[in-house]
A and B are shown apart, each in its own frame.
Chain A
Amino acid sequence: MYNFDFERPSTVDEAVKALQAEDAQALGGGQTLIPTLKQRLAAPAKLVSLAGIAAMRFVKTEGGKLCVGGGTPHAVVADEAAKSFPALAKLAANIGDPAVRNKGTVGGSLANNDPSACYPSAALACGATIVTNSREITADDFFQGMFETALEEGEIITEVRFPIPQAANYQKFEQPASRFALTGIFVAKYPDGVRVAVTGASGDGVFRWTEAEKALSANFSADAIAGLSVDPDGMIEDLHGSAAYRAHLVKVLTGRAVTAAR
């Protein structure tokens, strides 16, 4: 780790101001950033911790939406969304280990947009709204490729609003070492159609499997996608699985998610 200055503001406004400093970096739960700093792969001049902003920690339902404060740890979501949005609660409950879940936050996960993280698939499949200190961004516009998002420099995710689906399920197939998603599928069924988001598989990060969405909107059963196939082109290929394997998992896990959706 290199030396850096550290600030821990208690309001969003103070945080936004603090982040205007040169080479300032927001720190959510630190579950990606701290290991990166320890390996000396990042050298921010200043870290602005968002952990002291009480107004960014909440889970509530409002107008058919589950609203989660950007600084809410996974463990809190797992606990407090268990009744209102069980599929999301279960996703949160299976991220990392207890230490990760008690520190890592939904805002941090979405802002980082790791191609194998769990949360981006839920946000995209639900058509969530990502609320920042300055605007609202739809999930379809938010994710812009591996580790890339629509966030501007110094912009903070203050809240994420997930429209609560009629039925949903997340299927995570774990990468054996990291236990991130080797492939993860979030299926969400709404009155106006089904959305399917895929994480872990693509070199471009989370994406929607629109072909499956169409088929499932017409017939919400695993059979509906039996005839479909996923193009391995552009899928991640690494020690833990080929592009073809990931493409295959997308289909298998989508079927399972549909069958398990509640």
Chain B
Amino acid sequence: MPKDGHIGPATKRREDLRFLTGKGRYTDDINIRGQAYAQFLRSNVAHGRIRGVDTAAAESMPGVIRIFTGKDFEGIGGLPCGWQVTDKHGQPMLEPGHPVLAQGKVRHVGDPIAVVVAETESQARDAVEAIEVDIEELSAVVDMKAAVKEGAPLVHDDIGSNLCYDWGFVEENKAAVDEAFAKADHVTTLELVNQRLTANPMEPRVAVGDYDNTTDQHTLYTTSQNPHVIRLLMGAFVLGIPEHKLRVVAPDVGGGFGSKIFHYAEEAFVTFAAKAINRPVKWTSSRSEAFLSDAQGRDHVTKIQLALDKQGHFQALRTETYANMGAYLSTFAPSVPTWLHGTLMAGNYKTPLIYVNVKAVFTNTVPVDAYRGAGRPEATYQLERVIDKAAREMGIDPIELRRKNFVTEFPYATPVAVEYDTGDYEATMAKLEEIADLKGFEARAAESKKNGKLRGLGVNCYIEACGIAPSHLVGQLGARAGLYESATVRVNATGSLTVMTGSHSHGQGHETAFPQVVADMIGIDPSMIEIVHGDTANTPMGMGTYGSRSLAVGGSAIVRATNKIIDKAKKIAAHLLEASEADIELKDGKFSVSGTDKSVDWAGVTLAAYVPHNYPLESLEPGLEETAFYDPSNFTYPSGAYACEVEVDPDTGKVTICSFAAADDFGNIVNPMIVDGQVHGGIGQGIGQALLENTVYDENGQLLSASYMDYAMPRASDVPFYTVDHSCQTPCTHNPLGVKGCGEAGAIGSPPAVVNAVVDALRRGGHDVTHIDMPLSPARVWEAMQK
């Protein structure tokens, strides 16, 4: 792509004007005349049998319109799971039902039992408190390893086991991997926990259901990253509403981080209830409710082993992971610890033999699903931690050990089913050494020592598979959806454009970046282009935004649709200029006949398309509007190298991040400022995981970290000024923009850098510490130093 066009400049985000002046229009800003309010009665026990739900007293409370219980949803579909994993014996995963409201049993604290719809939110809450629920409390299972033992209480009695699947990847390689381990010169083993996180988008979830009984039209306004997916899942599988009678709108959405991909019970409920009472119904989650009902992330317990030869060449890798599914299968939960995790275990390295075993387990906890990075952070963390440990055990410099094993030739087919199209891991590592001033580390460490602090350096690499995803491939792997993206480019008569995308922006800056792409292709100003997204009524069927896919997949659909526009516009221009189409050139918004001074500008052509007085009507339709779908032929593979420097207070265990540097390869860059912002945010979340965040249940399944009094979110003072660089660019070889995606990289690459740095600091301080599980809170670090 040209570097002097609209692709490349750090254009300021046009959407920020409304966000920063309080004029964003979020779902909770939508209020419909006659609207009623829903409040959920949620289980306060983790596991129990519902003996009875008595709503009599609550029914007569002021303002109550109707109370719904599980009975109202008998015979209505449950929330579907969008991915079926096949286990190592070739059997499909166990797939229990997931009712909208509990049927017979409650399975986690927060499981919805009943809903009051009332005239006001306050009246609904009052009535919720008046509902009498008789629950026989059952023993809860929280610990995954205990859950799969014989005789453990069953989360779902009907499926007979808490083991959702036992997945082996690649099962056929297992014997060869074990053999390589038996012969290896050195084996490094590490057991670790990738702790459970809560996504905590700034905007809690909201859903408003509306129904028009004259047209039988349902409308759902919801905080979603993918309104078309919700329309399909909820319409086809839960409520039986065909697409033409169901409109789903996801307006401005205040952050998702994965947690707003999934179809939730509250969405189905308000849609159902709006018809049932023939009034709009609104539900707004409180932050407390979000902790109990938003799908959570991570929660893997892993044993990883790396086999090396004497020189440090990786010979084989094997892992065993317990992955928590929570009480029900959330929409894409089964795919996260398998296809989004196992396929990344090669990392940036030429490990010839890899075997990944994942046991997905049901427990009496909130369901777990994709959270920024989804599976790839878990893969990167364990791999980059075990490499650091191996380096120490073998007395090899950790950076040197990585370099020794880098994949250097592309395309590279890994032993875990993916093919990296391009990359240059040596380049990003060299860039990291420069921007992080790694040479100066020892001097800084000496300075810290003088101040009574232990300084440590952590370095790691990462690779991710994003730009999700080739539909034919994910279909083979169990996805029950395609993962293409769509765009409609509508050129208006006077030359401005409206681009309708199936991607959804909830912080990613699409309204700025996408016009840059189109403007660059046509040679017009980006201000002539408006982006429309988030409404199934006026956008083509799209799959939404997650997996760092919007530019790589959604942007490619826009490129394809814009190319169709340009092709047609050239035909019109050829007619107007009385020239051959083959001689028409488009540059800077002007069509000219090559080798002549004859030209017509962009607006002249677009006007001709809609006022076709002088127009080849016999061979060309009037109008200028095109739709395209783009299905990628491969994932994209962003990669990079990260460095973190920390200081540890030896007296208290408190970790301070002194610096964090990221050298990323995202291929081509459309807007470097937006990329910076995505990387900053990702690293912030990664530091949050490494040092602060932790979702903790007690043995009875009560959530202990149920508010910001106990769930530690990263704040500005917890993070340093980042040094980020994305000048290493190996463009993606298979999408038209050569872009790879940058939304998740920071969250994937940063946790191991922080933990590697803290372990390094403690070892430099004379402590024989090889690992500390995240979050590296002061208390945990101090305890590690006491051993």
Tell whether, in the assembled complex, residue B783 and residue A242 are in contact, meaning their CB atoms are under 8 Å apart.
yes
Tell whether, in the assembled complex, residue A176 and residue B777 are in contact, meaning their CB atoms are under 8 Å apart.
yes
Nearest CB in chain B to that of A249: its residue: B652
B538 at the interface (CB under 8 A from A): no
Q: What string of 1s and 0s marks CB contacts (under 8 Å) between A166-205 and chain B?
A: 0000000100111000100000000000000000000000
Chain B residue contacts of A241, Cβ below 8 A? 777-779
Closest Cβ–Cβ distance, residue B150 to chain A (whole Å): 31
Tell whether, in the assembled complex, residue B782 and residue A177 are in contact, meaning their CB atoms are under 8 Å apart.
no
Tell whether, in the assembled complex, residue A239 and residue B288 are in contact, meaning their CB atoms are under 8 Å apart.
no
Q: How far is the CA of A40 from the CA of B128 in the complex (A)?
A: 12
Q: What count of chain B residues pass the 8 Å CB interface test?
A: 24
Q: How far is the CA of A4 from the CA of B691 in the complex (A)?
A: 42
Q: How far is the CA of A40 from the CA of B783 in the complex (A)?
A: 38
Task: Kindly count the residue-residue contacts between A and B in the assembled complex, taking CB atoms under 8 Å apart.
Answer: 46
Closest Cβ–Cβ distance, residue A209 to chain B (whole Å): 17
8 Å CB contacts to A: which residues of B117-165? 122, 125, 129
Q: How far is the CA of A176 from the CA of B651 in the complex (A)?
A: 17
A58 at the interface (CB under 8 A from B): no
Tell whether, in the assembled complex, residue A176 and residue B652 are in contact, meaning their CB atoms are under 8 Å apart.
no
Q: How far is the CA of A239 from the CA of B654 in the complex (A)?
A: 15
Q: How far is the CA of A173 from the CA of B692 in the complex (A)?
A: 15
Q: How far is the CA of A249 from the CA of B691 in the complex (A)?
A: 19
A17 at the interface (CB under 8 A from B): no
Tell whether, in the assembled complex, residue B692 and residue A176 are in contact, meaning their CB atoms are under 8 Å apart.
yes
Query: Most chain-B CB neighbours within 10 Å: which of A177, A178, A245, A248?
Result: A177
Tell whether, in the assembled complex, residue A173 and residue B652 are in contact, meaning their CB atoms are under 8 Å apart.
yes
Q: Given B652, B709, B783, which contacts A177 in the complex, CB threshold below 8 Å? A: B709
Closest Cβ–Cβ distance, residue B786 to chain A (whole Å): 8
**Interface of chain B, main secondary structure:** loop
Q: How far is the CA of A176 from the CA of B688 in the complex (A)?
A: 11
A240 at the interface (CB under 8 A from B): yes
Contact of A240 with B783 at beta-carbon distance under 8 Å, contacts A40-B125, A176-B712 already known: no
Tell whether, in the assembled complex, residue B778 and residue A176 are in contact, meaning their CB atoms are under 8 Å apart.
yes
A252 at the interface (CB under 8 A from B): yes
8 Å CB contacts to A: which residues of B687-745? 691-692, 694, 696, 704-705, 708-713
Tell whether, in the assembled complex, residue B778 and residue A177 are in contact, meaning their CB atoms are under 8 Å apart.
no
Tell whether, in the assembled complex, residue B782 and residue A39 are in contact, meaning their CB atoms are under 8 Å apart.
no
Chain B residue contacts of A240, Cβ below 8 A? 710, 777, 779
Q: How far is the CA of A249 from the CA of B782 in the complex (A)?
A: 10
Tell whether, in the assembled complex, residue A178 and residue B704 are in contact, meaning their CB atoms are under 8 Å apart.
no
Q: How far is the CA of A240 from the CA of B704 in the complex (A)?
A: 11
Tell whether, in the assembled complex, residue B778 and residue A252 are in contact, meaning their CB atoms are under 8 Å apart.
no
Nearest CB in chain B to that of A252: its residue: B651
Tell whether, in the assembled complex, residue A245 and residue B696 are in contact, meaning their CB atoms are under 8 Å apart.
no
Tell whether, in the assembled complex, residue B712 and residue A177 are in contact, meaning their CB atoms are under 8 Å apart.
yes
Chain B residue contacts of A177, Cβ below 8 A? 692, 705, 708-713
Tell whether, in the assembled complex, residue A245 and residue B779 are in contact, meaning their CB atoms are under 8 Å apart.
yes
Closest Cβ–Cβ distance, residue B196 to chain A (whole Å): 13
Nearest CB in chain A to that of B711: its residue: A177
Nearest CB in chain B to that of A183: its residue: B652
Q: What count of chain A residues pass the 8 Å CB interface test?
A: 17
8 Å CB contacts to A: which residues of B88-143? 122, 125, 129
Tell whether, in the assembled complex, residue A239 and residue B652 are in contact, meaning their CB atoms are under 8 Å apart.
no
Chain A residue contacts of B696, Cβ below 8 A? 239
Chain B residue contacts of A182, Cβ below 8 A? 778
Tell whether, in the assembled complex, residue B710 and residue A178 are in contact, meaning their CB atoms are under 8 Å apart.
yes
Nearest CB in chain A to that of B649: its residue: A252
Q: How far is the CA of A39 from the CA of B125 in the complex (A)?
A: 11
Q: What string of 1s and 0s marks CB contacts (under 8 Å) between A221-250 and chain B?
A: 000000000000000001111100100110
Tell whether, in the assembled complex, residue A245 and residue B710 are in contact, meaning their CB atoms are under 8 Å apart.
no
Chain B residue contacts of A248, Cβ below 8 A? 782
Tell whether, in the assembled complex, residue A178 and residue B708 are in contact, meaning their CB atoms are under 8 Å apart.
yes
Chain B residue contacts of A1, Cβ below 8 A? 122
Q: How far is the CA of A177 from the CA of B694 in the complex (A)?
A: 10
Closest Cβ–Cβ distance, residue B740 to chain A (whole Å): 34
Chain A residue contacts of B782, Cβ below 8 A? 245, 248
Closest Cβ–Cβ distance, residue B344 to chain A (whole Å): 30
Q: How far is the CA of A157 from the CA of B47 in the complex (A)?
A: 46
Q: How far is the CA of A252 from the CA of B452 in the complex (A)?
A: 14
Closest Cβ–Cβ distance, residue B112 to chain A (whole Å): 18
Tell whether, in the assembled complex, residue A39 and residue B777 are in contact, meaning their CB atoms are under 8 Å apart.
no
Closest Cβ–Cβ distance, residue B655 to chain A (whole Å): 10
Q: How far is the CA of A238 from the CA of B709 in the complex (A)?
A: 12
Chain A residue contacts of B708, Cβ below 8 A? 177-178
Q: How far is the CA of A240 from the CA of B705 in the complex (A)?
A: 10
Q: How far is the CA of A216 from the CA of B710 in the complex (A)?
A: 35
8 Å CB contacts to B: which residues of A101-120? none
Q: How far is the CA of A40 from the CA of B708 in the complex (A)?
A: 17
Tell whether, in the assembled complex, residue B125 and residue A239 are in contact, meaning their CB atoms are under 8 Å apart.
no
Q: Given B710, B778, B783, which contacts A239 in the complex, CB threshold below 8 Å? A: B710
Tell whether, in the assembled complex, residue A242 and residue B709 are in contact, meaning their CB atoms are under 8 Å apart.
no
Chain B residue contacts of A245, Cβ below 8 A? 778-779, 782-783
8 Å CB contacts to A: which residues of B751-787? 777-779, 782-783
Nearest CB in chain B to that of A176: its residue: B712
Q: Given A40, A238, A242, A252, which contacts B652 in the complex, CB threshold below 8 Å? A: A252
Chain A residue contacts of B288, Cβ below 8 A? 39
Closest Cβ–Cβ distance, residue A260 to chain B (whole Å): 14
Q: Contacts A173-B652, A177-B708 known; list 4 others, CB within 8 Å.
A: A176-B691, A176-B778, A240-B779, A241-B778
Give the 7 A-B CB pairs with smallest separation, nearest first.
Answer: A177-B712, A241-B779, A176-B712, A178-B709, A252-B651, A245-B779, A177-B710
